[in-house]
Structure 1
Amino acid sequence: MPGGADMAGAEAERVLAVEMLETALPRHRDLLQAYFRNRLPCPQDAEDHVQEVYSRVIAATAPQTGIANWKGFLLRAAANLLTDNFRRDQARAGGRHVSLDDDLDAGSDEVATPERVVAARQRLGHVQAALAELDPVCREAFLLCRVEGMSHRDIAARLGIEVGAVTRHVERALIHLARRTGGRGAA
């Protein structure tokens, strides 16, 4: 059955991509932290930006395996993140007002059709199942960072662990989510 071979090949490519992410992302963490520390007005936010780069890279590379220069790829993603943040701040008048959630923006043309609601619930179910598989401390660190928006320093103080441990937990959770959801919903 030819369709099955195509699906197996796609799954093998996805697994290879996740394995490449598992080695490439941690190897360049220090470089990304230094990059953000030198460019952000608040260097303590560097780790949060590194995690955002990881999320973007995981989402962008889930189906790809042919990235030869991870250092350049990650630095480009980091530069794009800073550019996006700058443009967003400029468009929103740089903090002179309280922003709405992206999902509540008046200009949203997304209509909540029954099909989209079902698909979203299924994706949420996959993410929840993947999160349930994580170690409780890893899951809590990830949720505090990605859902509650807490800094790594605040999470470390709350959980009684080191900032580096928070970083590793969030990375581990992102990679696990990418592996279990195929890159859909890991960001």
Structure 2
Amino acid sequence: METQSDLMRSYLSLRPALKRFLRSRLPSDQDAEDCLNDLAARILTTSSIEGERRNVQGYLFAMASNLVSDWFRASHTRKSGMHVPIYDLALTNDDTSLDDKLAGKESYRRFEEGLQKLPQDERDAFELHRVQSRTLPQVAEELDVSIARVRKLINRSHTKLMNYVWAKS
């Protein structure tokens, strides 16, 4: 029976070979290093290995091979290759040109004009739902109409506002 300390001594002596083994199967040195650390953690959490292990080296390489399989299964499940690190993203753009700012202000002014030109029931439904963040049932109750009617009023007002704001661009 191999004890934990015997297995750890074998691991330490085989660590360079295990790293080469893992590095040849994984995409980066860091991934190989992570798998080596996982292997050491598994050895440390194992109290003893049942049965006579004549080939400790084979046992450690089999464990390393299983860790590689686990790594690929986990990376496929998490679709890790599809993620973009947050530090690569441009979160703000402070380079907004004066023309863009003026265009935005003009669009907002046209939006306010368009809102005032809407029929009263459409304007009320739009303002209650979109501006005051009320739910459709709350708007329906306040305007004393059905939820379907509120939905139609909001859709109609939204279409009219979009046409009014963007048609004059």
User: TM class by shorter-chain length?
Assistant: 0.3 to 0.5
Name which structure has the greater RCO, CA cutoff 8 Å, separation 6+. Answer: 1
TM-score with structure 1 setting the length:
0.38
TM-score with structure 2 setting the length:
0.42
